[in-house]
Amino acid sequence: MQQITIIGSGNMARALAVRVLQARHSVQILGRNGEKTRELVEFLGAGAQGGIEGAPIEGGIVFLAVPYEEAKKAVVFYGEALASKVVVDISNPVNLATFDNLSTPAGTSAAEEIALHASPDAFVVKAFNTCFAGPLEAGSVSGKPLDVFIAGDAEQAKVKVSAVVAASGMRPIDVGPLRRARELEAMMLLTMGLQVSPEHENFNWDTSLNLLP
């Protein structure tokens, strides 16, 4: 069993925490909103503990369960406290006003931008951005385990994230170096646009990107 830290207290933080506990790891929730953090920890029960933003990071793996811009601020805020840790970016830098473009510069990704702002000794990995909160909390969709696509430049960091994914009942898929996050995020620009399109009334944020078979 290992300790995993989740920065954030929203729906994705909750879903990740449920999966982490399913994998028989303990989880530390660090949230800006004290009330939401307490409520989440109480919901999660045994194996979960909470703290305010800025509290010491206890996990060797740190999930940034916050939007892209907040994730950049978080790695700057925590600075060298993230050194030697695996930092997992789950964000999708989609323009939520239009669902028509990404907010990152051309030729890069949210994960790569976060890596530039993080401690040079942190191991940034992209994962879980293709999972919506509902299916992620369940660990499956339509009876099929979720696929979790993982990109990163540090092989051992990807191995650690893959182990957590597998232990929680899902399928890890290593897609290559961190720059592959560009394609993962572009895929979600399309997918998220479909969720809000009135032409696709059956898409309700409970869909999932899986490779078959």
**pLDDT surpassing 90 at residue 202:** no
The answer as to whether 97 is a domain residue is yes
- The chain-wide mean pLDDT, for the chain, equals 96
- Please report, for the domain that includes residue 124, its CATH number: 3.40.50.720
pLDDT at 1: 79
Amino acid found at 73: K
pLDDT at 128 over 90: yes
Closest CA to 192 of 177, 182, 204, 202: 204
pLDDT (0 to 100) of residue 200: 85
User: Shortest CA distance to 4 belongs to which of 169, 177, 209, 167?
Assistant: 167
Q: Is residue 156 part of a domain?
A: yes
User: With 90 as the cut, is the pLDDT of residue 172 above it?
Assistant: yes
User: How many angstroms separate the CA atoms of 121 and 198, rounded?
Assistant: 45
The pLDDT-based confidence of 201 (bands split at 50, 70, 90) is confident
Percent of the chain with pLDDT over 90: 93
Domain with 91, as residue range(s), is: 3-196
Mean pLDDT of 88-107: 96
> Is residue 188, in this structure, part of any structural domain at all?
yes
Q: How many domains does the chain have?
A: 1
Mean pLDDT of 180-201: 93
- Determine, yes or no, domain membership for 206: no
Q: Specify the pLDDT at position 20.
A: 97
Answer yes or no: is 15 within a domain: yes
What is the sign, positive or negative, of the torsion defined by CA atoms of 149, 153, 159, 164?
negative
What average pLDDT does range 153-168 have in this prediction?
Answer: 98
pLDDT band (50, 70, 90) for residue 160: very high
- Model confidence at 44, pLDDT cuts 50, 70, 90, reads very high
Identify any residues that bridge with 87 across adjacent strands, giving them in sequence order: 62, 124
209 within domain boundaries: no
Residue 205 lies in a domain: no
Average pLDDT for 4-24? 98
What's residue 203's pLDDT?
86
Stated length of the chain: 213
Residue 146 has pLDDT above 90, yes or no: yes
71 has a pLDDT exceeding 90 = yes
Evaluate whether residue 64 is within a structural domain. yes
For residue 100 the two structure tokens come to: 């028509």
